[in-house]
Amino acid sequence: MVLELVNISLRRNGKWILKEINWKVNKGEHWVIFGLNGAGKTALLNVLNAYEYPTKGKITVLGKEFGKAPLAESLRKKIGLVSQSLQQKLHNGDNAFEIVLSGAFASIGLYESPTDEMREKAISLLRELGCYDYANRNYETLSQGERQRVLIGRALMADPELLILDEPTNGLDFLAREMLLESVEKIAKETNGPTIIYVTHHAEEILPEFQHTLLLKQGEVFAAGKTDEMISDHTLSDFFGLDVGVIWKDGRPLLTKNKLTVK
Ligand SMILES: Nc1ncnc2c1ncn2[C@@H]1O[C@H](COP(=O)(O)OP(=O)(O)OP(=O)(O)O)[C@@H](O)[C@H]1O
Ligand SMILES: [Mg+2]
- Between 8-22, 108-122, 136-150, 225-239, the lowest mean confidence (pLDDT) is in 108-122
Strand pairing category for 195-200 and 31-34: parallel
Ligand 1 within 6 A of 38 CB?
yes
DSSP 227-251: HHHHSSHHHHHHHHTS-EEEEEETT
Q: Which amino acid is at 255?
A: L
Average pLDDT over residues 84-100: 86
pLDDT in tens, 38-64: 999 999 999 998 888 899 999 999 988
Chain-wide mean pLDDT for the chain?
91
Of 17 and 106, the one with more pLDDT: 17
Q: What is the pLDDT of residues 182-231, one digit of tens each?
A: 999 999 999 999 999 999 999 999 999 999 999 999 999 999 999 999 99
Which segment of 85-94, 169-178, 197-206, 238-247 scores lowest on mean pLDDT? Answer: 85-94
Residue 67 has pLDDT above 70, yes or no: no
- The pTM (predicted TM-score) of the whole model is 0.92
| 202 Cβ closer than 6 Å to some ligand 1 atom | no
Please report which confidence band the pLDDT of residue 75 belongs to, taking 50, 70 and 90 as the band edges: confident
Q: Residue 68 — very low, low, confident or very high, per pLDDT cuts 50/70/90?
A: low
Tell me the percentage of the chain whose pLDDT exceeds 90. Answer: 77
Ligand 2 geometric centre to CA of 202 (Å): 12
When pLDDT is cut at 50, 70 and 90, the band that residue 108 belongs to is low
38 CA → ligand 1 middle, Å: 5
Q: pLDDT: is 109 or 190 the higher one?
A: 190
Cβ 43 under 6 angstroms from ligand 1: yes
Q: What is the pLDDT of residues 162-183, one digit of tens each?
A: 999 999 998 899 998 999 999 9
Whose CA is closest to atom 10 on ligand 1?
A: 17
**Given pLDDT bands bounded at 50, 70 and 90, which one contains residue 261?**
low
Q: Which pLDDT value is given to residue 116? A: 95
Question: Which whole number is the average pLDDT over 109-114?
Answer: 76
CA distances from 6 to 23, 56, 65, 88, 212 (A): 7, 9, 11, 31, 18
Query: Rounded to an integer, what is the distance from CA 164 to the centroid of its chain?
Result: 3
- Is the distance from CB of 53 to CB of 67 less than 8 angstroms? yes
Q: Residue of the nearest CA to atom 7 in ligand 1?
A: 12
**d(CA 119, ligand 2 centre) in Å:** 32
**50 CA from centroid of ligand 1 (Å):** 16
CA angle 52, 93, 147 (to 5 degrees): 65
Name the closest-CA residue to atom 17, ligand 1.
Answer: 42
Ligand with an atom nearest the CA of residue 38: 1
Q: Identify which has the larger pLDDT, 89 or 129.
A: 129
